[in-house]
Structure 1
Amino acid sequence: MADQLPQTIRDALQERAREALSHWAVLTDEPILLKYRENAVFRITLADGPLAALRLHRPGYHDETSLRSELDLMAALRRGGLDVPAPVATSDGENLVFLPANRKFPEQYADVVSWIDGTALGQTGTPLPQSAETQAEIFFRTGQEMATMHDLADAWDPPEHFRRPAWDGEGLLGERPLWGRFWDCPGLSGDEASSLSALRDDLRDRLANAQRHGLDYGLIHADLVRENIFLTGSKDDIAFIDFDDAGYGFRLFDLATALLKNRQEPAYPAIENAVVTGYRSRRALSDAALQSLPLFMVLRSLTYIGWLAERPEIPNAPERLSRYVAESLELARKLDIAA
């Protein structure tokens, strides 16, 4: 998406990145814009040699406390042996830098995290390049690492100031969901808005019922899409990047996120089985809990409608909105929800 930005925006982001980098010891090479979504992410080279990632955080998306908490979580997972980015301190020993408003940007924060040397599992909308057998192996290891992440999160005692968003019933289906009001957004037809509003009411009842029967809840990544699952090393070990949406939530939400955009893969049944089997090889996941996975596939799908509604500048937004709505209603019908 970064290469689709107008040159004027790219130039402004480069200037802002150079401003941020004045706080870190880096080489003089220009920062290279890699991604522009929630954050503007640049590849940089630290003064002592290694690559790193500079993140200019989207203004207003997370406050200072939440951003520092994200860095605390990543550092804790890294100490526990999970392959995730770690904070890189400034020359003054700070992990987070405040950037004041100027003519082109409101006030915002920046940080630098260590580089994960590998390749993304894939890109959304593009068929996975690996063989079906290799896909199963990769998703098995993804399930294992996801379970390890949840174990480490449960064992960690967060600092007193720790605060991250909650992907709970309110965060998913309340009046102000974390990623926007999916049933009440520009671009929906009247029929679509009515169907999504009715679906929301039904899902709240279903989620409440599932919770009464017990659901694992705690710190989650919340965005384990293909682009955030990295294959590293000669044996394609697994690393997780981009904890921008990490917070408290149902552990099944992480599984659903890793699976949702792979539904059209020919090997999808094997992919789903591999994630679940890999997860269960390291952490308990009961059959009763697993019955709620289709519910969380719907909940995950709906978040993309709300996300897109608040970002009309995204390329091909109307077409993507139509696709997201159709996907959500299709998944809902499989739950026997009248949509």
Structure 2
Amino acid sequence: MAVFTAVGLGDLTQWIKQFPLGNAVALKGIASGIENSNFFLTTERGEYVLTIFENLGFDQLPFYLKLMRHLAERGIPVPAPVANDQGELVVALHGKPASIVSKLEGSSQMAPQPAHCAAVGAMLARMHLAGRDFPMEQPNLRGLGWWNETTPKVLPFLTAANDHLLRAEMHFQEAFAGSAHYCALPHGPVHADLFRNNVMFVGTRLTGFFDFYFAGCDTWLFDVAVTLNDWCIDLDTGVIDQARARAMLDAYHAERPFTEDERASWQQMLRAAALRFWLSRLYDLHLPREAELLTPHDPSHFERILRERIATPAPELFHG
């Protein structure tokens, strides 16, 4: 669990008055996430989530919060940001940007079955389509540019074998990003971090996507690859579960058919998605920030996934 900025109920007594939520009556730190300080907030009007942003600035946050509002208005189940009495979605708390959003119903499904994966695939496609007319632009801040900046920072900490793997995969991904197939991929706003703990279910009914604070404009296929690399694998080995993967891809394709350029780029994109999270976990482990409570994720998990994606072809995007 990460709580970088400590907040108590007393800190909210006056601060909460600018929101149409009544008084704050309970506050509890959320035991997940390593980027922001998150709290379950109960007020006289209901249950919400309070986030204090540790890395993102006031100028960056409108993209994420307005994207969430845009998607919610188009029927995508995402947390709805609450504006203060000045119409602002981002307000300072302890000198840092903070926001309040509605709390989703349900709980995370950490042992997904094909039905859960199908629901995620279908909703992800709907989310991509709903974001097509979102007017704001922001690149994926953990995309290729960040990989190039971060690689030399983590290389000194790696074994010889992993040094070779990282350098070779960076060369591979640079070439892929310059290919004609890649340049033709459909793109728009993406979640970019749609792991099991960022989706809510009641039974097999999907009740929402949340934690959009890695979102940006990127290829939709990258979003699919990130999602499949978490939802449709054996966690111990990184091997893809064929039934779950097929359920997710078929459900997505039924809502927003994949293109031939996406089919041609699929294997490379699964490797890109694994590389992105291997790099970020290496960075968090070896170059950590101070936090009240912080347990970095194990980088070896995505090292295994990357090696598996290089060695073994994944299921095709679609039949035909």
Give the structure-2-normalised TM-score: 0.82
Q: Please report how far the alpha carbon of residue 253 of structure 1 lies from its aligned counterpart in structure 2 after TM superposition.
A: 1.2
Equivalent residue in structure 1 for 2:185, among 195, 215, 233: 215
Q: Please report how far the alpha carbon of residue 288 of structure 1 lies from its aligned counterpart in structure 2 after TM superposition.
A: 4.3
* Alpha-carbon separation, structure 2, partners of 1:321 and 1:21: 38
- Against the structure 1 CA distance between its residues 182 and 226, is the aligned structure 2 distance closer, same or farther, given a 3 Å change threshold? farther
* Alpha-carbon separation, structure 1, partners of 2:44 and 2:9: 19
* Alpha-carbon separation, structure 2, partners of 1:215 and 1:36: 30
Partner of 2:144: 173
- Against the structure 1 CA distance between its residues 16 and 164, is the aligned structure 2 distance closer, same or farther, given a 3 Å change threshold? farther
- Aligned-pair identity in percent equals 23
* Alpha-carbon separation, structure 1, partners of 2:180 and 2:140: 17
Q: Are the counterparts in 2 of residues 182 and 302 from structure 1 also a CA contact under 8 Å?
A: no
Equivalent residue in structure 1 for 2:71, among 77, 80, 83: 77
* Alpha-carbon separation, structure 2, partners of 1:260 and 1:275: 11
Q: Please report how far the alpha carbon of residue 51 of structure 1 lies from its aligned counterpart in structure 2 after TM superposition.
A: 0.7
Deviates more, 1:247-256 or 1:180-189: 180-189
Q: Please report how far the alpha carbon of residue 41 of structure 1 lies from its aligned counterpart in structure 2 after TM superposition.
A: 1.1
Q: Equivalent residue of 2:178, what SS?
A: helix
Q: Equivalent residue of 2:77, what SS?
A: coil
Equivalent residue in structure 2 for 1:45, among 36, 42, 46: 42
Give the structure-1-normalised TM-score: 0.78
Q: Are the counterparts in 2 of residues 139 and 275 from structure 1 also a CA contact under 8 Å?
A: yes
- Against the structure 1 CA distance between its residues 47 and 16, is the aligned structure 2 distance closer, same or farther, given a 3 Å change threshold? closer
- Against the structure 1 CA distance between its residues 289 and 44, is the aligned structure 2 distance closer, same or farther, given a 3 Å change threshold? same
Q: Are the counterparts in 1 of residues 79 and 210 from structure 2 also a CA contact under 8 Å?
A: yes
Q: Please report how far the alpha carbon of residue 91 of structure 1 lies from its aligned counterpart in structure 2 after TM superposition.
A: 3.8
Structure 2: state its 5+ residue gaps: 289-293, 314-320
Asked if 1:68 is matched to 2:65, the reply is no
Q: Equivalent residue of 1:119, what SS?
A: coil
Amino acid at match of 1:112: I
- Against the structure 1 CA distance between its residues 165 and 155, is the aligned structure 2 distance closer, same or farther, given a 3 Å change threshold? closer
Equivalent residue in structure 1 for 2:106, among 101, 104, 118: 118
Matches within 5 A, 1:248-327: 248-261=217-230, 262-264=232-234, 268-312=241-285, 313=288, 314-315=294-295, 320-327=298-305
* Superposed CA offset, 1:108-136 (max 9, x none): 200000110111121xxxxx1x5xxxx21
* Alpha-carbon separation, structure 1, partners of 2:24 and 2:215: 32
Equivalent residue in structure 1 for 2:83, among 73, 89, 111: 89
* Alpha-carbon separation, structure 2, partners of 1:293 and 1:142: 18
* Alpha-carbon separation, structure 1, partners of 2:280 and 2:296: 14
Partner of 2:163: 193
Asked if 1:241 is matched to 2:210, the reply is yes
* Alpha-carbon separation, structure 1, partners of 2:175 and 2:119: 34
* Superposed CA offset, 1:161-201 (max 9, x none): x343336xxx5333x339x6246405312332233112211
Structure 1: state its 5+ residue gaps: 101-106, 123-127
* Alpha-carbon separation, structure 1, partners of 2:84 and 2:245: 41
Q: Please report how far the alpha carbon of residue 267 of structure 1 lies from its aligned counterpart in structure 2 after TM superposition.
A: 7.9
- Against the structure 1 CA distance between its residues 13 and 99, is the aligned structure 2 distance closer, same or farther, given a 3 Å change threshold? closer
* Alpha-carbon separation, structure 1, partners of 2:299 and 2:207: 31
Superposition CA RMSD, Å: 2.8
Partner of 1:329: 307
